[in-house]
């Protein structure tokens, strides 16, 4: 359990929670749309990933749809903890469309998964500033990054924010159970 005094936190737990991932809706050609639907549905199987690869090689896509397809394929890889190949997909997406917040948030999640919390925090902040469809996932991942950087107070508030945005989400509820808030002695 984590104890928080107003203005200070004490950490004892090791991060063992996987980062949350956010897919992108792509309305491009049929195959890219199938890739998008698979990513949004939480799939990460080889057939679903192959849809994304096929869309990238065969579909005629706008730069934004192509970037979204890279994000979706990267999310599928991220779900399997394939850090390097998901990183390449997120970088490709950002090179095409740096204004897609989900690309930044997912690359941030990838950094958190690799325990590179400072890089993760930077990308998560950039994604939040650009706007994302599921900000609760970004706040949850940012809380993980803060914990990795031994900033438990910021982590606590981000877990709370994630839970406020999605009150029925179990992951931040579970993480908040590890904290104990107390008054700082005067």
Provide the pLDDT for residue 14.
Answer: 30
The answer to whether 107 and 114 have CB atoms below 8 angstroms apart is no
Provide the pLDDT for residue 12.
Answer: 27
Residue 25 burial class via C-beta count within 10 angstroms: exposed 0-12, middle 13-18, buried 19 and up: middle
The answer to whether 176 and 140 have CB atoms below 8 angstroms apart is no
User: pLDDT tens digits, residue range 14-36?
Assistant: 333 456 555 556 555 689 889 98
Provide the pLDDT for residue 53.
Answer: 96
3-state secondary structure the chain: CEEEECCEEECCCCCCCCCCCCCCCCCCCHHHHHHHHHHHCCCCCHHHHHHHHHHHHHCCCCHHHHHHHHHHHHHHHHHCCCHHHHHHHHHHHHHHCCCCHHHHHHHHHHHHHCCCHHHHHHHHHHHHHHCCCCHHHHHHHHHHHHHHCCCHHHHHHHHHHHHHHCCCCHHHHHHHCCEEEECCCC
User: pLDDT tens digits, residue range 91-145?
Assistant: 999 999 999 999 999 999 999 999 999 999 999 999 999 999 999 999 999 999 9
Provide the pLDDT for residue 21.
Answer: 53
Q: Cβ atoms within 10 A of the Cβ of 161, count?
A: 17
Provide the pLDDT for residue 162.
Answer: 97
- Distances 127 to 100, 123, 135, 162 between C-alpha atoms, Å: 8, 6, 9, 15
Provide the pLDDT for residue 74.
Answer: 96
User: pLDDT tens digits, residue range 143-181?
Assistant: 999 999 999 999 999 999 999 999 999 999 999 999 888
Provide the pLDDT for residue 180.
Answer: 86
| The residue count for the chain | 186
């Amino acid at each position: 359990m984590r104890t928080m005094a107003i203005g200070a936190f004490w950490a004892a737990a090791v991060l063992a929670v996987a980062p949350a991932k956010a897919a992108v809706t792509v309305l491009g050609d049929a195959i890219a749309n199938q890739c998008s639907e698979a990513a949004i549905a939480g799939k990460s199987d080889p057939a679903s990933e192959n849809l994304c690869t096929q869309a990238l090689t065969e579909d005629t896509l706008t730069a934004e749809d192509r970037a979204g397809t890279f994000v979706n394929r990267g999310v599928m890889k991220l779900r399997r903890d394939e850090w390097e190949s998901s990183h390449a997909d997120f970088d490709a997406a950002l090179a095409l469309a740096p204004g897609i917040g989900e690309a930044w948030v997912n690359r941030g999640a990838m950094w958190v998964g690799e325990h590179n919390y400072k890089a993760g925090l930077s990308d998560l902040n950039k994604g939040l500033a650009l706007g994302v469809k599921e900000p609760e996932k970004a706040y949850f991942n940012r809380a993980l990054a803060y914990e990795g950087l031994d900033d438990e107070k910021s982590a606590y508030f981000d877990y709370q924010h994630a839970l406020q945005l999605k009150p029925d989400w179990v992951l931040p509820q579970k993480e908040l159970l590890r904290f104990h808030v107390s008054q700082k002695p005067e």
